[in-house]
């Protein structure tokens, strides 16, 4: 079982739609959580950190459920420019300390 699992998609949504991505992680020692965005043939870039209380950044809302080991990302009012792959990322506090990436969920926003 992979340490971070995501639905690969693709999610095809119309402009203006609300879309949600989910991610589960297997290592309960994970302490830090992030969503990264990766455009086609480009490098990953940090979209937002995920905090236990949930956090919002404009049209983006991230939630963390430690009990269920589940992370979500909600995008409201989707724009064409949101089309990308969204990578769920966790960081353990012990053992291997590097970030562990999921395989990504591809989003295609259509006009």
Partner 1 sequence: GAGVSQSPRYKVAKRGQDVALRCDPISGHVSLFWYQQALGQGPEFLTYFQNEAQLDKSGLPSDRFFAERPEGSVSTLKIQRTQQEDSAVYLCASSFAGDRGELFFGEGSRLTVL
Provide the binding-site residues for partner 1, judged by CB under 8 A.
Answer: 4, 8, 32, 34, 42-46, 87, 91, 96-104
**CA 86/CA 67 separation, integer angstroms:** 23
We find the least distance from the C-beta atom of residue 1 to partner 1, in angstroms, to be 15
Question: Looking at beta carbons only, is 18 or 26 nearer to partner 1?
Answer: 26
Minimum CB distance to partner 1 smaller for 5 or for 76: 5
Provide CB contacts within 8 A for 95, sequence distance 6+. Answer: 29
Q: Which residues pair with 22 in a beta bridge?
A: 72
Shortest distance (Å) from residue 109 CB to partner 1: 20
CA–CA separation, 109 and 9 (whole Å): 12
């Amino acid at each position: 079982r992979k340490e971070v699992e995501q639905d690969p998609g693709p999610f095809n949504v119309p402009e203006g739609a609300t879309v949600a991505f989910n991610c589960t992680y297997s290592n309960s020692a994970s302490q830090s959580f992030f969503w990264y965005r990766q455009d086609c043939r480009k490098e990953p870039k940090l979209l937002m950190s995920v905090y236990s209380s949930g956090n919002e950044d404009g049209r983006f809302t991230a939630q963390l459920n430690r009990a269920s080991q589940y992370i979500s990302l909600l995008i409201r009012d989707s724009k064409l420019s949101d089309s990308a792959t969204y990578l769920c990322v966790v960081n353990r506090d012990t053992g291997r300390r590097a970030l562990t990436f999921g395989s990504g969920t591809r989003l295609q926003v259509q006009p």
